[in-house]
Amino acid sequence: MTDMMTSGTKKSLMTRRGVLRAFAATTIVAAPTYANAAGFLRGAGDIRRLRMYSGRTGEHLDTIYWIEGKYIKDAIKEINYFMRDWREDAVKNMDIRNFDIITAAHTLLDTTEPYLLLSGYRTPKTNAMLRSRSRGVAKNSLHMKGQANDVRLKTRTVSQIYKAGMSCGAGGVGKYSRSNFVHMDCGAVRTWGS
């Protein structure tokens, strides 16, 4: 019985990993038309789950936001609130493509540890304030459009998270080793950092 369960578990993990590899490969080809990549998984029995916590607000998020090709409206609302600009208490409808990118990267990292969210949505005021303190903050940051997140994990290195993000091939991935975080966005496919 144990061998059968192990075998069944391995089979389901292999299938899940296979689907994720296919998802990542499809997003590389279809980055400009991201809907094609998301549509690839439709009907595959897949779920997409996002696990995060915020050190700034003390809030935790563990939600399934997509099931078999359909985004769950209430879960998306919950994620949007969680990723708000906590300094201004401002909520923005985040670009759901970014959820898919960070979720795929998280799954490739093979961990259940939630991401620590350092920055999600930023108001222009917050972005300007951060920019005045750091040359690493872009003037027209995708954070202001709700298309970017800065994350970290205790159990994975910045390089590991960066490589997982790059494997998705569906947006920008920046490595900030000295600050110990990775930026992932759903803009143009590009990489930077050290």
Give the whole-number percent of the chain exceeding pLDDT 70. 77
User: Over pLDDT 90: what percentage of the chain?
Assistant: 60
Between 63 and 21, residue with greater pLDDT: 63
What's the rounded Cα separation, in Å, for the pair 90 and 78? 13
Q: Output the pLDDT for position 21.
A: 47
> What pLDDT, on a 0 to 100 scale, did the predictor assign at position 24?
44
Six token digits for residue 52: 């995060």
Which residue did the predictor score with more confidence, 8 or 64?
64
**Distance from C-alpha of 164 to C-alpha of 17, rounded to nearest angstrom:** 13
More confident residue, 137 or 189: 189
Of the candidate ranges 15-24, 66-75, 81-90, the one whose mean pLDDT is the lowest: 15-24
Count of positions (residues) in the chain: 194
Give yes or no for a contact between 120 and 94, defined as CB atoms under 8 angstroms apart: yes
Q: Per-residue pLDDT averaged across 138-167, rounded? A: 93
Is the confidence at residue 99, as pLDDT, over 60?
yes
Mean confidence (pLDDT) of the chain: 80
Mean pLDDT within 97-105? 93
Q: Which residue has the tokens 């290195």?
A: 157
Say yes or no to pLDDT of 27 above 60: no
Q: Which of 17-21, 82-86, 132-136 has the highest mean pLDDT?
A: 82-86
pLDDT confidence tier of residue 45, bands split at 50, 70 and 90:
low
Ramachandran assignment for 146, one of left (phi > 0), alpha (psi -120 to 50 degrees), beta (any other): left
pTM over 0.85: no
